[in-house]
Amino acid sequence: MGRLFGTDGIRGLANGDVLTPELALSVAVAAARVLIESDASHQPLAIVGRDPRASGEMLEAAVVAGLTSAGANVVRVGVLPTPAVAYLVGQAGADLGVMLSASHNPMPDNGIKLFAPGGQKLPDELEEKIEKAIADGHGLVGRPTGAGVGRVHDLLDGAEHYIKHLLEATPHPLNGVKVVVDCANGAASEVGPTAYEEAGAEVIKIHAEPDGLNINDNCGSTHLEAVREAVLEHGADLGLAHDGDADRCLAVTAAGDVVDGDEIMAILALAMRDAGTLTDDTLVATVMSNLGLRLAMKQAGIRLLETKVGDRYVLEELASGGFALGGEQSGHIVMPAYATTGDGVLTGLHLMATIASSGKSLADLASVLHKLPQVLINVPVKDRQAGAAAPTVQAAVALAENELGETGRVLLRPSGTEHLVRVMVEAATEDQARTIAERVADEVRTASPA
């Protein structure tokens, strides 16, 4: 069996060759065996949530069957954002959390994300143990019977608990802020607009009617055209866009200009520094963040630490140093004082609180960061590792780096969740960045055709 877990759990075409109900059941049994210590006096508890996509119903049934067959009691929380499930795991003192979502991926995909006690994401070594347990068939023997089989309950007010937590974590009322929220027909379609309204904002919600099939369909954080148009139409102060499981947030200004995760991190880092809550004046970001973020933070006297791509690695760095803010350009923003994972609604609340408390527009706040032109090309490949490691590709990268010198950079990485190799180039001009990115991408396509 190959590696199951990517940078954000297990993901793939639901009911396809890999992500089947059989796999979901096996993962649930193995996770219960690995994560839950055997204790005759303690029947373990697992929290299970999902986003609205249709296949989540099927996979939820398989996961619940697997967990209960391993002796775990299960609380189903239904459709909720990923960070809400992580929060409820911590609040309930659960031994395990399972979120069924493919985040920003198209509707036919789905995924399995696992949380350890406290709502923390799993470290690599635990994922490897789960994979080994599945491969060894450990879930097929020694299952409990009779009263040892787990029971299933439904939590009907999980959203209310989560919203209350979000409001308590909001540093300033949002009175006077008018916002358009694109919910991506996803897991935040109810809790996002409700939290923003209860915090004081005037909310116009779009793509907030999930039917199981329309999640991320030309909407949300990967398709910002709709929220830009709605902001201009309604004369809003800003727009926010979430993805399918609402662990990320991107924004647009009143003029419709995109404000990405780097700019949001810069805004929040400065606000937290001024409030004295930015631990050691340090921000954690990934290698994908724009060079402009590094320059802006250096000018502001804020240290920037870099990690590998993936919010799990940002989380690890935040935990190791006790830092207060980190995230990714894609809009995964993590504030450990309030959340154990990226939380798009929490990010939106803090961004709007900064606007409300400062009296400045989003455009003014974002102007602290001057981004270098950056071009990202996602190259479909058959083998993402081979596509990135081919000698011809590495030679093209070396040539590009020599050409750019200190005026830019090239970043090449296999996707952790899709059959893609991501080619990112920053340069002094967009034309130069695009020319170099296309050249490297062509070599990737040749090395590993899709």
Q: Point out which residues pair with 304 in neighbouring strands.
A: 283
CB-facing half-sphere around the CA of 242: CA atoms within 13 A: 35
pLDDT tens digit sequence for 311-351: 888 999 999 999 999 999 999 999 999 999 999 999 999 99
Q: What is the mean pLDDT of residues 205-213?
A: 98
CB atoms within 10 A of CB 271: 22
Residue 100 · residue 51 · CB < 8 Å: yes
Q: Point out which residues pair with 285 in neighbouring strands.
A: 306, 327
Which amino acid is present at 145? T
Nearest to 162 by CA among 82, 43, 45: 82
Is 383 marked as a binding-site residue? no
Q: What is the pLDDT of residue 416?
A: 73
Give the span between the Cα atoms of 334 and 317, in whole angstroms.
11
Is 415 marked as a binding-site residue? no
Residue 224 has phi, psi (to 5 degrees) of -85, 0
Q: What is the pTM of this model?
A: 0.89
Q: What SS3 class is residue 68?
A: helix
Q: What is the pLDDT of residue 37?
A: 57
Q: What is the pLDDT of residue 2?
A: 58
Q: How confident is the model at residue 23 (pLDDT cuts 50, 70, 90)?
A: very high
pLDDT tens digit sequence for 216-273: 999 999 999 999 999 999 999 999 999 999 999 999 999 999 999 999 999 999 999 9
Q: How confident is the model at residue 39 (pLDDT cuts 50, 70, 90)?
A: low
Residue 161 · residue 184 · CB < 8 Å: no
Lowest mean pLDDT among 90-94, 141-145, 243-247, 411-415: 141-145
Residue 422 · residue 431 · CB < 8 Å: no
Catalytic residues: 103
Residue ranges with strand state E in 176-237: 178-182, 202-206
The total number of residues written for the chain in this structure: 450
Q: How confident is the model at residue 109 (pLDDT cuts 50, 70, 90)?
A: very high
Give the span between the Cα atoms of 105 and 338, in whole angstroms.
26
Residue 215 · residue 53 · CB < 8 Å: yes
Residue ranges and CATH numbers for the domains of the chain are 10-156 (3.40.120.10), 161-366 (3.40.120.10), 374-447 (3.30.310.50)
Measure Cα distances from 406 to 78, 410, 416 in Å. 50, 11, 28
Report CA 270 to chain centroid distance, whole Å.
Answer: 23
Is 361 marked as a binding-site residue? no
Give the span between the Cα atoms of 373 and 434, in whole angstroms.
9
Higher pLDDT, 128 or 13: 13
Task: Provide the mean pLDDT of the chain.
Answer: 93
Q: What is the mean pLDDT of residues 180-197?
A: 98
Q: Which helix (H) or strand (E) holds 358?
A: helix 344-358
- Cα-only R_g, the chain: 22
CB atoms within 10 A of CB 10: 23
pLDDT value at 187 more than 70: yes
Nearest to 395 by CA among 450, 446, 449: 446
pLDDT tens digit sequence for 287-314: 889 988 988 999 999 999 999 887 888 9
pLDDT value at 40 more than 60: no
Give the span between the Cα atoms of 145 and 402, in whole angstroms.
65
Is 245 marked as a binding-site residue? yes
